[in-house]
């Protein structure tokens, strides 16, 4: 399997499919590069080089004890981009991966970046505080941490069978396979890595990172997202990023990379070819 080496020596796995202009895909919590398979296959068959990596501590990447925070995640992304000498990139970030993409630009700029796509992404800031009164209370994230320590396998089952894919909504019909894939990928992540990543995606303030985005940006978010509510995530990010385009998927849940993969794929191709 291909790996790149991060600044601290950590080994990071990546999947590199197709040829053409590069599209780099950053995954959500507690998943890995496999969560992008539908989009990666589509992009690679339409003339793009689609690259998806496992974040440190997730999937097949090294389960480091330290570095489970956004600055390191962003620097790991930079290590991937620099090692493969990628240029004219479209960066695509789903959920936590959207934070990774934003922080990469905040720390490393857009010299190598042509476009950005944020999908169900955590920026600008999920956690409620004095200057972010519309965020979610810390008790929401404390419950996730507590569930992870008590029985993280069941936590992932509960997320997959309920809010992540909207399977708790009337009329929802999310396949057992999709839900099982979420559970399996979650358990491939290191216990400490996944636990500490909760703070990384919830409490990191990405507002200055979004202000640094100076390339065409597409923001996609479902308005029934129960993990990163639309008002907290996509709506706020699109309002902050200069000249961003916002696409709202009516009634869509958080996990639209699976539940709305055809529509998402078409929107990605349209944006890439614009």
Burial call 86-114: b when 16+ CB within 10 Å, e when fewer = beebbbbbbbbbbbbbbbbbbebebebbb
> How many other C-beta atoms lie within 10 A of the C-beta of residue 152?
19
Q: Is 237 a catalytic residue?
A: no
Tell me the chain's radius of gyration from C-alpha atoms. 17
Alpha helices by DSSP H, 119-260 = 138-161, 176-188, 191-203, 207-211, 234-240, 256-259
Is 225 a known active-site residue? yes
User: Cis omega (within 30 of 0) on the bond before 30?
Assistant: yes
The secondary structure of 29-72, three-state, reads CCCCHHHHHHHHHHHHHCCEEEEEECCCCCCCCCCCCCCCCHHH
Give first-to-last CA distance, the chain, whole Å.
33
Q: Which of 26, 61, 95, 202 is catalytic?
A: 95
Of these residues, 167, 225, 258, 267, which one is catalytic? 225
- 58 an active-site residue? no
| Catalytic residue from among 254, 258, 260, 267 | 254
Instruction: Please list the active-site residues.
Output: 95, 225, 254
């Amino acid at each position: 399997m291909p790996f790149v080496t991060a600044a601290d020596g950590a080994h990071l796995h990546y999947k590199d499919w197709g040829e053409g202009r590069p599209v780099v895909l950053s995954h959500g919590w507690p998943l890995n590069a496999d969560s992008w398979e539908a989009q990666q296959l589509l992009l690679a068959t339409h003339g793009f080089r689609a690259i998806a990596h496992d974040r440190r501590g997730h999937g097949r990447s090294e389960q480091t004890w330290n570095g489970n925070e956004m600055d390191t995640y962003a620097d790991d992304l930079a290590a991937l981009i620099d090692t493969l000498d990628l240029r004219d990139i479209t960066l695509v970030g789903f959920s936590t991966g959207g934070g990774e993409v934003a922080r990469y630009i905040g720390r490393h700029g857009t010299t190598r970046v042509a476009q950005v796509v944020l999908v169900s992404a955590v920026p600008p800031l999920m956690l409620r505080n004095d200057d972010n009164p519309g965020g979610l209370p810390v008790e929401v994230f404390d419950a996730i941490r507590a569930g992870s320590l008590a029985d993280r396998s069941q936590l992932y089952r509960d997320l997959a069978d309920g809010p992540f894919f909207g399977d708790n909504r009337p009329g929802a019909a999310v396949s057992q396979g999709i839900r099982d894939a979420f559970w399996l990928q979650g358990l491939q992540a290191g216990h400490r890595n996944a636990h500490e990543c909760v703070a990384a995606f919830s409490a990191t303030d990405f507002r200055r990172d979004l202000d640094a985005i100076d390339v065409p940006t597409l923001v996609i978010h479902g308005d029934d997202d129960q993990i990163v509510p639309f008002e907290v995530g996509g709506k706020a990010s699109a309002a902050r990023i200069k000249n961003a385009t916002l696409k709202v998927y009516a009634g869509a849940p958080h996990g639209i990379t699976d539940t709305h993969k055809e529509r998402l794929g078409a929107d990605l191709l349209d944006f890439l070819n614009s």
